[in-house]
Amino acid sequence: ARGKHRWIGFQFLEGSVSRISCEQFLSTILSENSWKLFDFKVIDGVQKGIIKTPLEQYKKVLSLINSEPSLETLTSSGKIRLVRQRLRLE
DSSP state of 16: -
Count CB-CB contacts under 10 A for residue 61.
Answer: 22
Percentage of residues in the chain with pLDDT exceeding 70?
Answer: 99
Name the average pLDDT for the chain. Answer: 92
42-76 tens-digit pLDDT: 888 889 999 999 999 999 999 999 999 999 999 99
pTM of the predicted model as reported, rounded to 2 decimal places: 0.92
State the DSSP string of 15-52. Answer: S---HHHHHHHHHHHTTTS--EEEEEEEETTEEEEEEE
